[in-house]
Amino acid sequence: MPAAPAGAAGPLPLEELFDTTAVSDDARPCEADFDGLGASLSAQDLTAAGWTPGRPLTVLGARLTWPRWRPGVPDNVRAAGQDVRLHGHGDGLAFLVAGTGGADTGGTGTVEYADGTVSPYRLTASDWRRGPLATKAVALPHVNTPGGQLVEKARLYVVTVPLVAGREVVSVQLPYATDLHVFAMSVRAATPEWTGSWATATTGYQALGPWTDRTLRLVVHTSVGGPRLRLRFDNTFATAPVRIGGATVAVQASGATARGAPERLTFDGAAGVEIPAGAQSFSDPLVFAVPADANLLVSFHLPGTVPAAPVHRLARQRSYLSDAGDHTADGSAAAYTSTLTNWPLLTGVDVGCGPGSVVLVGDSITDGDRSTVDANRRWPNVLATRLLGQSVVPRYGVLNLGISGNRVVTDRYPGDGVATDSAGVSALNRFDRDVHAQTSARTAVLFEGVNDVLGGASAQQVIAGLREFTDRGRARGLRTLAATLLPCGGHTRCTAAVDAERVAVNAWIRDAGVFDGVLDFDGVVRDPASPNHMLPAYDSGDHLHPSDAGLAALAESVDLRLLSDYTSRSTTTGAWSEAPLPLRSSRST
């Protein structure tokens, strides 16, 4: 398709501005030149990943459409200040992009709203051949060149930037950055009608089974309830699509046995869905009475062969795998003969209505390592129960995005391919997916850093990461809190030098004044007689992870007012009034 003529009046749809060809057929690589040096993306690799022409893709909660043109036709635009026609209300502007200059590239653009106002944004894209795999939307296994196909990863990225809340977007001016290529754009819709009740973070891409024609029945624990439900499945870090043949939900009676007949879910009206590599899928809304603080059974059938999948490794909850066949409608446990200790593919349960969610980003302490299996005694569970039983602040959903072994500034999982390390990409590299894209997120709590210092990072490196995290949260309208790092004295890696770095991080968290609130978890569990140790009553025995009692003490110490900007509630309408709260520290309530 030809590009629009220069000087065309008024904003144009993005596809009318395409001026560069990025995709070639493997047999005709010279038909495309993405980077000015003759290299291009493989059409066959894109098809294998499920990125077919004109296909809608949901990434980071934004619905984008891969260009609908055949290989060898312009399919993206080099950013040079073009005015793009785009309409919608939402909480973010999403771009499907890549750079071709060998390094990060970007610039400042503007958004125009229906009321005539404008706002600036900053868009940065990573390089398609050298950028980080940890933040890519999809990686393809080859690069096409006139001299032959190279076995080299080609990356594409989805980046979101904030919008002014409540205003209708009518056009977007792209930055001036000629190495920045834009394939698709959309306004990510806000979701005030939904509240996140349960969520988990993808820790890596793990070899499984392989499973063929099996049904998974995952047990998940809600925080808040509601009158309807939708599920989220993520194919993060994958290289190929995954097919879900059908899915149901039920309240758990016991084990894999449902209380009543499981309810059938649909996806855009269909019984199942194929999720492209790197993308996600939400089920259609289902009228279903979701109980608060209760276990659900989410069952989904995998009709094909699944040798690997994105997982959350440490569930601390037994789930179930069936014998061959679609057993999503089974109320009994008879077909579910194997036990799982992780959560594959499923990443979220949202409920209708509600005030929004609190997102807890952490490591193994938040993940619940050493807590009692099947008992839901992680500190986020205890916090959720506290919120349900009070009326000081709204009864938020609580989303546990903890990953065992996770670090603030260093990736443990490289972000691509099958790997045995399941400690995830860094908190910074998973911010967009695990914080900003979570359903109706209102407040983010970051409780990480001990794995960084145990791994040799300095206090200054951790502090820089914590500062960047909160800066990014505030730029997106999130209330951001930090928790101090727990004492680790007695653990084999917690040397005096390591503990000194931990103490320095904690001093900065308490005193820097950069957060909307501080949860002083160190002060809650430390032994006054030996401050670099946990109190024995709170120590699970490894001197790093709290016991059930210690995790409960953390949750009970949170001043719930720190989680909210809402400060009063109408006795007639039940509505909350919003006003900023002063910075406070929470040690006990």
Q: Which burial class, exposed, middle or buried, applies to 510 when counting CB atoms under 10 A from its CB (0-12, 13-18, 19+)?
A: middle
> What's 473-486 look like in SS3?
HHHCCCEEEEECCC
Q: Are 149 and 203 in contact (CB under 8 A)?
A: no
Q: How many residues does the chain have?
A: 589
Going from the C-alpha of 103 to that of each of 129, 132, 160, 189, 586, the distances in angstroms are 9, 10, 19, 31, 42
Query: Tokens at residue 19, please?
Result: 């001026």
CB-CB contact of 121 with 107 (8 Å)? no
| Residue-level pLDDT at 565 | 79
Per-residue pLDDT of the chain (589 residues; tens, 9 = 90+): 444 444 457 999 999 999 999 999 999 999 999 999 999 999 999 999 999 999 999 999 999 999 999 999 999 999 999 999 999 999 999 999 999 999 999 999 999 999 999 999 999 999 999 999 999 999 999 999 999 999 999 999 999 999 998 999 999 999 999 999 999 999 999 999 999 999 999 999 999 999 999 999 999 999 999 999 999 999 999 999 999 999 999 999 999 999 999 999 999 999 999 999 999 999 999 999 999 999 999 999 999 999 999 999 999 999 999 999 999 999 999 999 999 999 999 999 999 999 999 999 999 999 999 999 999 999 999 999 999 999 999 999 999 999 999 999 999 999 999 999 999 999 999 999 999 999 999 999 999 999 999 999 999 999 999 999 999 999 999 999 999 999 999 999 999 999 999 999 999 999 999 999 999 999 999 999 999 999 999 999 999 999 999 999 999 999 999 999 764 454 444 555 544 434 445 543 3
Residue with tokens 């944004």: 121
Nearest to 319 by CA among 365, 373, 379: 373
What sign does the CA torsion over 183, 277, 229, 222 have?
negative
How confident is the model at residue 586, as a pLDDT?
54
| Cα distance between residue 306 and residue 541, in whole Å | 38
Report the C-alpha gap between 536 and 49 in whole angstroms.
Answer: 51
CA distance 475 to 296: 35
pTM: 0.95
DSSP 156-178: EEEEEEE--TT--EEEEEPPEEE
Residue 142 CB contacts under 8 Å (≥ 6 apart), including other chains: 42, 45, 149, 150, 151, 152, 154
CATH topology of domain 194-586: Rossmann fold (3.40.50)
Antiparallel, parallel or unpaired: β 357-362 and 441-447: parallel
Cα–Cα distances (Å) from 138 to 44, 97, 275, 532, in that order, read 14, 11, 12, 43
The backbone torsions φ and ψ at residue 166, rounded to the nearest 5 degrees and listed phi first, read: 85, 0
User: How far apart (Å, rounded) are the C-alpha atoms in residues 576 and 355?
Assistant: 9
Radius of gyration of the chain (CA): 24
The type of residue at 210 is: P
Element (H, E) at 119: strand 118-125
3-state secondary structure of 151: strand
Burial of 10 (0-12, 13-18, 19+ CB in 10 A): exposed
Do the beta carbons of residue 406 and residue 415 sit within 8 Å?
Answer: no
Residues of the chain with CATH 3.40.50.1110: 194-586
Confidence (pLDDT) at 566 = 62
- Residue 8 confidence (pLDDT): 54
Q: CA–CA separation, 268 vs 265, rounded Å? A: 10
- The DSSP H or E segment spanning 497 is helix 496-511
| CA quadruple 377, 381, 385, 388: dihedral, nearest 10 | -170
Hey, what are 166's tokens?
């409540």
Q: Beta 357-362 vs 397-402: how paired, if at all?
A: parallel
pLDDT of residue 374: 98
pLDDT at 6: 45
